[in-house]
Structure 1
Amino acid sequence: MNFKNGGQAVITRMLEAYGFKTRQALCEQFNVSASTMGTRWMRDVFPADWVIQCAIETGASIEWLSFGKGVPFPQNTEASVMSKATAPKVQYVPQINNQENPIGNLLNLDSGGRDAIDRLMKAYGFKTRQELADHLNVSKSTMANRYLRDTFPADWIIKCSLETGNSLLWLATGQGSKHSSLTTLVKELPKFHLNAGKMVECGSYIFDTSFLPANLSAPIVIQDGLMTYICDQNITDVLDGHWLINIDETYSIRHITRLPKKVIKVSSSINSFECGFSDINFVARVYLFISSINKSN
């Protein structure tokens, strides 16, 4: 997940979510100056804090706002629990006041970092901040600085909401239910087909999030014959199990068993062999597979 740039595309999608015609209207909704908006636009900075506010206020999918993927407006979102002033397709009202912008009041983007980080730990089920830092792939010092300075971790909140399905409103503000039934119910995963050892992208699948394994960071779908695999490209360690691997630019799903002295056993239903750990490129770990009974005509 790239939270460093892509800001122009994100801001364009936020305009669509609110139904605004100009970025000035967006400035007034977020209570920021035109220069702040202009700077973020010119530098293409990812506006994680605005994404959170927009998603809660409009009901737009956090994944669609952030990356342009998935269903823009799922049927069940947290916007339905907000006041009419923040319903989907909010109309532009100049000089929006605090009563018309309740989420702006709840989101304190200058502080609230410690409480938010504590909620992130609860959402992931981690016991220590070091576990959270490892999962987010940030240094111990970065985690410590945000916690000590009480910096609001908007980018981490977006990542956590996408990975865990926890309520965005609860993660950001502590309000509402942690396991809200109003969170996004579907997730779109890129789909690839294995054809003669090559990975060929062929659209996407949309899944009910309750069907997917928890805590997938970079999920993809791989189709190989009658088998469909749900995999995660985020690899922290290679454990025994099924993997999407690349050997000499040939992709395949194989069962991997680790052996002593950095040797692994690579197995399929037809044959098996042993090789060095470094001889194989591990692309993604298989978490779930679906078998078709009959191949459609």
Structure 2
Amino acid sequence: MIEEKGGSAQILERLMSSYGVNTQKDLAAALDIPANNISGWTQRDSVPGNAIIKCAIDTGADLQWLVYGKLANANYGTSTERPSGQVLYSEVMANGGRPVLRRILDAYGFSMQKQLCELLDISSGTVSTWVRRNYFPGDVVVTCALDTGVSLEWLATGKSKPFRNDSNILSEHSLIRKIPKRKLSAGKLTDDGFYYFDKYFLSNEIIDPVFIESASKSWFVDLGRKNISNGRWVIDIDGDLDVYDIARVPGNKINIVGKSSNFECNVSEVTPLGVVVQTLENNI
């Protein structure tokens, strides 16, 4: 995610500049790693995120400058309030697994691992491995920090605050949530990309959110709810999907009100796709 083909040599130069060293051997000593590791990075044309994270927190160098070289006036001052060297590295690596995953999800405004996997195009098995092995996903942490503007120190260690005190603008991703979008037409649902919205618009208690759009209305639907209760639902009736208002009546039956029909049937005669959380209606 952060390694770019043809860019490893430049990243290594910026790492050495940040530490004030002139050789890869001295850089390896600063990073507390074997010197042949750096030779391997050069051969693979990629620099691991863990090394970039350590350098950024250890030296105070600007993260975007380390990765992309975009900022000419990066700050190299080492903070006296933070640990450094091997102590810092051990602290960062001890924050792997579930704790760092939680901070990454919070930074993006996600409530489920599935959302992170979709955003970064990684498998759920990869994320599960982080948790199972207490692994620190340095590349993802760097990507998240660059993507959201959240403090690298907070992401890596849980210390400090997520945002700088002098920052008046929160990042785009930190306030935006992404969910699947589907189009409802002629009783069928088709995938239609993704829908982005303010993360505070919907409750985090929604299990499996999706945005469904028709010609005149749209709905936020929780596909994780299948036990029919009073309310508005997306229902499959004989293979055709639509949105109906449902009221339960005695005898395990339901009263169904649709756009052009009103009828009663047994609960078992229909298949619920999910419950409607909110409805949006076009007025023009």
Q: What interval of TM-score do these two structures reach, taking the shorter chain for normalisation?
A: 0.5 to 0.7
Alignment of 1:205-220 (within 5 A): 210=169, 213-214=172-173
Cα deviation code 1:108-141 (max 9, x no counterpart): 17x7122111111121221111112112221222
Instruction: Check whether the contact 2:105–2:113 (CA below 8 A) recurs between aligned residues.
Output: yes
**RMSD between aligned residues:** 3.3
**Which amino acid in structure 2 is aligned with residue 163 of structure 1?**
D
Q: Which residue of 1 aligns with 2:39?
A: 38
**Which amino acid in structure 2 is aligned with residue 68 of structure 1?**
G
Cα deviation code 1:159-213 (max 9, x no counterpart): 111122211111111122223337xx6xxxxxxxxxxxxxxxxxxxxxxx82764
Q: Which residue of 2 aligns with 1:102?
A: 87
**Shift in Å, 1:2:** 4.2
Which runs of 5 or more residues in structure 1 are unaligned? 87-99, 186-208, 218-234, 240-257, 261-297
**Which amino acid in structure 2 is aligned with residue 22 of structure 1?**
T
Is 1:165–2:149 an aligned residue pair? yes
* Correspondent of 1:237 among 191, 194, 207: 194
Helix, strand or coil for the counterpart of 2:46? coil
Q: Which residue of 2 aligns with 1:21?
A: 22
Instruction: Check whether the contact 2:148–2:171 (CA below 8 A) recurs between aligned residues.
Output: no
Aligned residue pairs, count? 184
Helix, strand or coil for the counterpart of 1:82? coil
* Alpha-carbon distance in 2 for matches of 1:238, 1:118: 23
* Correspondent of 1:138 among 108, 122, 132: 122
* Alpha-carbon distance in 1 for matches of 2:193, 2:139: 21
Helix, strand or coil for the counterpart of 2:43? helix
* Alpha-carbon distance in 2 for matches of 1:175, 1:212: 19
Alignment of 1:261-272 (within 5 A): none
| Higher Rg | 2
TM-score, structure 1 normalization: 0.53
**Which amino acid in structure 2 is aligned with residue 106 of structure 1?**
E
* Alpha-carbon distance in 2 for matches of 1:13, 1:123: 27
Which runs of 5 or more residues in structure 2 are unaligned? 177-191, 197-212, 216-284
* Alpha-carbon distance in 2 for matches of 1:67, 1:216: 24
CA distance 1:179–1:216, shift in 2 (3 Å): closer
**Shift in Å, 1:73:** 1.3
CA distance 1:151–1:236, shift in 2 (3 Å): farther
Instruction: Check whether the contact 2:145–2:155 (CA below 8 A) recurs between aligned residues.
Output: yes
* Alpha-carbon distance in 2 for matches of 1:2, 1:216: 23
* Alpha-carbon distance in 1 for matches of 2:103, 2:123: 19
Cα deviation code 1:22-72 (max 9, x no counterpart): 111111111111111211122212221110011111111111111222345
* Alpha-carbon distance in 1 for matches of 2:141, 2:8: 17
